[in-house]
Amino acid sequence: MNKILFGRYVPGNSFIHKMDPRAKLVLSLLYIIAVFMSNSWLAYGTSFLIAIIIIGSSSIAPKFFWDGVKPLIGVILLTMIIQVFFGVGGQVYWHWGILSITSNGLLNAIYIAIRFILIILVSTVLTLSTSPLEISGAIESLFMPLKKLHFPVYEMALMLSIALRFVPTLIDETEKILNAQRSRGANFSSGSIMTRLKKLVSILIPLFESAFSRAEELATAMEARGYQGGEGRSKYRVLNYTKNDILGTIFMIIATMSVLLLRNWS
């Protein structure tokens, strides 16, 4: 549980840390689109090189990125297996009923794994170099034009910031409950799947109780302080674009164009 990086923030003074969170969100989305559009080894090699440069610019230890990929290895392998046995096209190496192994299926499985890893790495850079409050503030600023369409921008940003803020707290709370249950003799690693699921009830009930208790305390605190939405509120953190954002944008535009130009090259 303590290896989950969602909502975690590593303070730093790197090039990436100094960038505006709005720029980091937009550029990360641009990179993800470029990765999904890639369809050749040259394009994926270029995307991997871009990811290495981004990781190096963040000055974050490589261990964090391995911790970000490791929990999703099972999902990546499962996706690859599905693609291998259900992919169609190309030379057929093995066939049985609806299952088959083809050259296109194997190639697409490798492409999918590369896409997953690259997206996880760049997303990890974003979450580790940007605090949850900065992410919610950036999303609020980017969605501000929708306010003219009566979209609840402030409420959405508030819910997002609260959710991001309490993800690490709930993870730590789950770890404490697990340790408390283990100290009482509970064993969550043995038995059938149904037996393990039934044992999770002893974790979920106190976890939900703790979450509802924290939500009630937070609502009471907000009401006591006279919270009435975002109208007329000033901001403690003022977002401004800097030289780092301009350089980062230029680099990402050039990098994305390079990937798109190489997307169909063999």
Query: Which residue, among 144, 104, 125, 137, has the nearest Cα to 236 in the 3D structure?
Result: 137
Q: What is the mean pLDDT of residues 78-90?
A: 83
Global pTM value? 0.75
Q: What is the pLDDT of residue 27?
A: 93
pLDDT above 60 for 4: no
Higher pLDDT, 228 or 209: 209
Percentage of the chain lying above the pLDDT 90 cut: 14
Least confident range of 12-21, 101-110, 186-195: 186-195
pLDDT cut 70: percent of the chain above it: 93
- The residue-averaged pLDDT of 211-239 equals 78
Residues 98 and 82: their CA atoms lie apart, in Å, by 12
- Confidence band, pLDDT 50/70/90 cuts, at residue 232: low
Rounded mean pLDDT of the chain? 83
Distance CA 31, CA 1 (A): 28
pLDDT tens-digit profile of 91-137? 888 878 778 888 888 888 898 899 989 988 888 888 888 887 788 88
| pLDDT at site 254 | 92
Q: What is the pLDDT of residue 234?
A: 66
Question: pLDDT: is 28 or 197 the higher one?
Answer: 28
Using the 8-state DSSP alphabet, how is residue 160 labeled? Answer: H
Cα–Cα distances in Å, from 168 out to 5, 93, 125? 9, 46, 17
Residue-level pLDDT at 103: 83
CB 169 within 8 A of CB 214: yes
